A and B are shown apart, each in its own frame.
Chain A
Amino acid sequence: MPKLKLEDLAEVRERARKATMLREGAGRVKVTVHMGTCGIAAGARKIMEAALREVEERNLLDVIVATSGCAGLCSREPMATVEVVGEAPVKYVDLTEAKMKAIIAGHVVGGQAVQEYALAVGSERVL
């Protein structure tokens, strides 16, 4: 490690923030891959890995990839939900790695939901 100069510090900070950003708890976008038994059986792990890889390659610092249990529509797994802060969540079904990549590009980065892979906008009413 070469000794830092004043102007290097900000760059080191930005780089290091990538590793610690998750701990701030809030991103601009949360991508939840549904990993119930049905999801895992249908290949959800590959979908999640694709999402993480894409986040890494695109150097997206404000995107959190998470997992949750079965979303209830087991026949359409693998599924994922994309939530942009301040917008309604969008559920995607019958995913493949290529579709996940396209969703990251179109919805997470581009801001437009990818209609052809989407099941619905919004969530069930809870309680």
Chain B
Amino acid sequence: MAYRLNLMVCAGTGCVANRSLEVRDALEKELERRGLQNEVEVVTTGCNGFCGAGPLMVVHPDGIFYQQLSPKDIPHLVEEHFLKGRPVQKLMYVPPEEPAPIPKMSDIPFFRGQRLIALRNRGLIDPERIEEYIARDGYAALAKALAEMTPADIMEQVRISGLRGRGGAGFPAASKWEATRKVSAEPRYVVCNGDEGDPGAFMDRSIVESDPHSVIEGMIIGAKAIGARWGVVYIRNEYPLALQRLNIALDQAREYGLLGDDILGTGFDFDISVSRGAGAFVCGEATALVAAVEGRLGEPRARPPRLAESGLWGKPTCLNNVETWANVPPIILRGGPWFASIGTERSKGTKVFSLVGKVKNTGLVEVPMGMTLREIIYDIGGGIPGGKRFKAVQTGGPSGGCIPDTLIDLPVDFESLTEAGSMMGSGGMVVMDDDTCMVDVARYFLAFTQDESCGKCTPCREGTKLMLDILAKITEGHGTMEDLDTLERVAKVVAEASLCGLGTSAPNPVLTTMRYFREEYLAHIQAHKCPAHVCRELNTYRIDPEICVQHGHGCGVCKRECPEKAIFGEKNQPHRIDMSLCRKCGVCVDVCHFNAVIVE
């Protein structure tokens, strides 16, 4: 019997962590109890994108969006909506500061502003069923490429499309493909970089989790264009769900004759193996990645020779990242000019961002290139929670930079971000509000790159350590004006003299925060103050005697919780902190119910 309803339950890593699989099991059980299992199909999908509202479910054909589901909601939901046809309002999304819920997914601002190309199938298919990918024109581009196009035709469409690498540097994909094709050595390889390591970034993981076949199809088409017989997907072992779905997809593709010998009966042979990364950030760098696949120490090497000349096993290799490969099938199916019609003059198509930090709608978004930061953060992201003020956005991960509020109308494309001192990177976007200390942010990202520096070249190994020490000194209130100059000088040397992208971009968070938030550095150094009250060493704590007595009646919670016994006072009397004993841990602030502890 045909189904009348499809329940698309999100099973991306975020929703699974919020127990969406328990919700799914409860649904299946309740549907069976009501005898609806033959009318209503439950589909497990990849990441839907609106991770902040999970666990999520979308009900088709009407597109009703349910959020924050728990197993206890299910009996009522099944009876009301799936049996009686009355959608349940209290489980729908209610925009902040609005009275009424928005029933339909397509009407919710978070989704409305997005345009999906790389994520075209997210939430619409079960990633573990190849038939569902095929139903949505999956492998149609491959059939077209193999039957109707020469390698040169494929390359031409990719060139016209203007597709640029989504992994960081934004190198034109077609140039890379052509360079690999031109080298006469055999065999040639295609590689997919799935070693996404930026803190707060999960674009590639979500693509593989929600639509692994889009990456596989892109790689086969690329292999045809380049003349490769073998491909490798390098994926982080920390992504177990993505890895599992990728392996299932590869098996299904082989079973269907879409990988292996004589693909679709056209005589083209190609297969893909999976190589698992072990969590070294530097292995996202192309030459280090190749070394890791070969089983060598994951260290970058000098270029030239480029990978196109001497890559995997010393052979011509074309490496693109997950999102780049996922963009290839629609380009072939709809043509290069279609793709080139989206985006800006030099940045074509769309870009996936993971929108995180101090923003209401946390999640994964795909938008046309050239959309402004304001549109992404306010229209799609819903703005800053808690009535706080937007301060900066960090793009491009630890190698990127912090863009201040004055540049909120900056269009997001490769060129504009680089001009602002940041970069597109792989697409991480961390939003910050007034409670964020920019010196501390620079210290945080430097601590990450310093830890992940492989140590091969001195400027990166020693320089990041030196910068980190200076930043730590400043956040502890011991910085001098001379330190600022040293910081800037070291940053320039590290950027200039390091071998790979990790070192050349590691100073970006320092340089951009010094460029746009110099007054915060000065406050730390000259006034010994942290304007955001983040750097605890610089804070002083006092208790407002009036609030303490009038509202709290000298309740004594702070006195009881203080690990240093630095708070004194009797019940119904104002309490006070002895700063000579205080270790500035901040517990008193956290435990006071009346906000009587003032941080200065």
Contact = CB atoms under 8 A, between A and B. Distances in A.
B598 interface: no
A22 B83 contact: no
A66 B62 CA distance: 9
A23 B3 contact: no
A19 B132 contact: yes
Contact of B136 (A15, A20, A35, A65): A20
A3 B257 contact: yes
B140 A23 contact: no
Given A5-B264, A20-B136, A66-B61, A36 B5 contact: no
Contacts of A9: 134, 139-140, 143, 264
A108 interface: no
Contacts of A67: 4, 82-85
B63 interface: yes
Contact of A19 (B5, B8, B135, B147): B135
B62 A12 contact: no
B580 to A, nearest CB: 66
Given A5-B264, A6-B146, A52-B1, A16 B86 contact: no
A16 B135 contact: yes
Contacts of B265: 3-6
Most B CB atoms within 10 A — which of A3, A23, A36, A55? A23
A125 interface: no
B137 interface: yes
A90 interface: no
Nearest to B137: A13
Contact of A13 (B41, B60, B135, B255): B135
A44 to B, nearest CB: 10
Interface string B246-284: 000000000111101010111000000000000000000
B84 A36 contact: yes
Contacts of B132: 16, 19-20
Grouping DSSP codes into helix (H, G, I), strand (E, B) and loop, the B interface class, with mixed when no group exceeds half, is loop
Given A4-B256, A13-B137, A69-B85, A23 B124 contact: yes
Interface string B1-35: 11111101000000000000000000000000000
Contacts of B5: 22, 66
Interface string A68-82: 110000000000000
A34 to B, nearest CB: 8
Contact of B131 (A6, A12, A26, A52): A12
B242 interface: no
Contacts of A114: none
A20 B123 CA distance: 12
The number of chain B residues touching the other chain, given as a range, is: 35 or more
Contacts of A86: none
A49 B1 contact: yes
Interface string B115-133: 0000000001100000110
B4 A52 contact: yes
Contact of B3 (A17, A22, A26, A68): A22
B126 to A, nearest CB: 9
Given A9-B143, A16-B131, A68-B86, A27 B61 contact: yes
B39 interface: yes
Contacts of B134: 9, 12-13, 16
A15 B132 CA distance: 10
A48 interface: yes
B131 A19 contact: yes
A68 B2 contact: no
Interface in B131-168: 131-132, 134-137, 139-140, 143, 146-147
Interface in B219-268: 255-258, 260, 262, 264-266
A103 interface: no
A66 B135 contact: no
Contacts of B131: 12, 15-16, 19
Nearest to B6: A22
A55 B135 CA distance: 19
A53 interface: yes
Interface string A4-43: 1110010011011111101111110000101111001000
A76 to B, nearest CB: 18
A1 interface: yes
A20 B62 contact: no
B2 A35 contact: no
Contact of A35 (B85, B125, B255): B85
B61 A23 contact: yes
Contacts of B8: 23
B563 to A, nearest CB: 56
Contact of A25 (B2, B63, B84): B63
A20 to B, nearest CB: 4
A95 interface: no
A18 B1 CA distance: 11
A3 B6 contact: no
Given A6-B264, A22-B60, A55 B2 contact: yes
A49 to B, nearest CB: 7
A97 to B, nearest CB: 13
Contact of A56 (B1, B86, B266): B1
Contact of A20 (B135, B143, B266): B135
Given A25-B60, A49-B39, A69-B85, 9 more contacts: A3-B265, A4-B265, A13-B137, A22-B3, A25-B61, A25-B62, A67-B82, A67-B83, A68-B86
Give 7 nearest A-B pairs by CB, closest first: A3-B257, A67-B85, A16-B135, A5-B265, A68-B85, A16-B131, A65-B4
25 contacts: A1-B256, A3-B255, A3-B256, A4-B256, A4-B258, A4-B265, A9-B143, A13-B134, A13-B137, A13-B140, A16-B134, A17-B135, A20-B124, A22-B6, A22-B61, A35-B83, A48-B4, A48-B39, A52-B3, A64-B61, A66-B5, A66-B61, A67-B4, A67-B82, A69-B86
